[in-house]
Amino acid sequence: MLAKTLRSNKVIPNHDLINQAQIGAITVLPYFNVKQDDNSSIDSGTFISKAKSALSYYHDNISNNNTVNALYYIADTIRNSYENCDGGAGQKNNAHFIELVSALSIIDFSFANYDGKTTTHLEFGLSKDSNQVIFEDCGADTQKLLQRPLTQFVLFCKHLKERDDISQPWRIKRKFDQAFFQSQFVKDVKAIQSDYITWLNEMDDNQRRFSPFELSQTDKIFEIVKGKKPKKLITKLSSNYGLYDDFLNGQKVNNASSKEHQLIELFYNATDELVKQKINF
């Protein structure tokens, strides 16, 4: 196993540092089923028994001898059923909330400090057991990690797709003309944004659903976060995309940087302020 190699191999370069490095691992237990197919080698009915066998092995060979510093566990009892495919292109599942929160274990581990003497075991849980998870159903630490960056990027996606007003001062001042918005850089940004929205839609269409956004919301842009009522800003007369543009117009960016850098910095700063002041988190 990789963990054993990292702990005991004395041949690899810098082995003394690697052997003593902090190591974390995650065990992703069953969170989906596959449809029954008598001609397939995959059977959902065996998932739990196989998971128990794997956990027993990890207990005997990883936890008991403290091979890793932290071992994370995640699973779900609400499971979607997928087509039964033994492999290849057909074995392609939509994005899942379990995969998102599994990735959070990397962030959690990077900020932790373990003494290396015993394996620490960690599980993920929701504050509220919901089939349709929004930010408020997550624990405080998870909300802190997810809600602001995910919301900022959704707002960035929607403005670039739905708003095209060349008369705005933020565009004129930095010469963000039509040619710039048709450049390869902006096309690449929009491609990433399209994949991001697809990712959110796939998690929203799965079981258990991760559905924190009203992605179809266009008229009232700041009502996009489910469970959050936007604040009224008494110092601002404009609303919706007009307010969004006001925040873009009021931002300062490094004018010595490239136009591409200015665009990203501008939207990051504006959406950061909007999320803080208007959506209130």
Q: What's the pTM value of the predicted model, to 2 decimals?
A: 0.88
d(Cα 264, Cα 256) in Å, to the nearest integer?
14
Using alpha carbons, select from 208, 201, 81 the residue that is nearest to residue 133. Answer: 208
CA distances from 63 to 6, 72, 124 (A): 15, 11, 18
pLDDT attached to residue 253: 93
d(Cα 137, Cα 128) in Å, to the nearest integer?
5
Which token pair is 244?
């969004």
pLDDT attached to residue 55: 81
d(Cα 142, Cα 152) in Å, to the nearest integer?
16
The position carrying tokens 């699973």 is 75
The position carrying tokens 């739905």 is 162
Helices of type H across 167-256: 169-173, 178-181, 184-204, 240-249
Helices and strands of the chain, counted as H and E runs: 10, 7
d(Cα 189, Cα 197) in Å, to the nearest integer?
12
> Between β-strands 80-82 and 32-34, what pairing exists: parallel, antiparallel or unpaired?
parallel
d(Cα 281, Cα 277) in Å, to the nearest integer?
8
Helix (H) or strand (E) holding 209: strand 209-210
pLDDT attached to residue 3: 83
Using alpha carbons, select from 155, 273, 272 the residue that is nearest to residue 224. Answer: 155
Using alpha carbons, select from 142, 145, 137 the residue that is nearest to residue 122. Answer: 142
d(Cα 103, Cα 192) in Å, to the nearest integer?
19
- The DSSP code sequence of 14-65 is THHHHHTS--EEEEE---EEE---TTSS--GGGHHHHHHHHHHHHIIIIITT
Instruction: Classify burial at 271, counting beta carbons within 10 Å of its beta carbon; exposed 0-12, middle 13-18, buried 19 or more.
Output: buried
In a structure prediction context, what are the per-residue pLDDT tens digits for the chain, which is 281 residues long? Answer: 788 888 888 998 998 898 888 999 998 887 776 666 556 666 656 667 777 787 887 888 888 888 899 999 998 887 777 666 666 666 678 899 999 999 999 999 999 888 767 899 999 999 999 999 999 999 999 999 999 999 999 999 999 999 988 899 999 999 999 999 999 999 999 999 999 999 999 999 998 999 999 999 888 999 999 999 999 888 777 889 999 999 999 999 998 999 999 999 999 999 999 999 999 88
pLDDT attached to residue 89: 64
pLDDT attached to residue 137: 98
CB 223 within 8 A of CB 217: yes
d(Cα 235, Cα 281) in Å, to the nearest integer?
19
pLDDT attached to residue 85: 63
- The identity of residue 264, as a single letter, is I
CA distances from 128 to 31, 133, 139, 171 (A): 18, 8, 8, 43
pLDDT attached to residue 77: 81
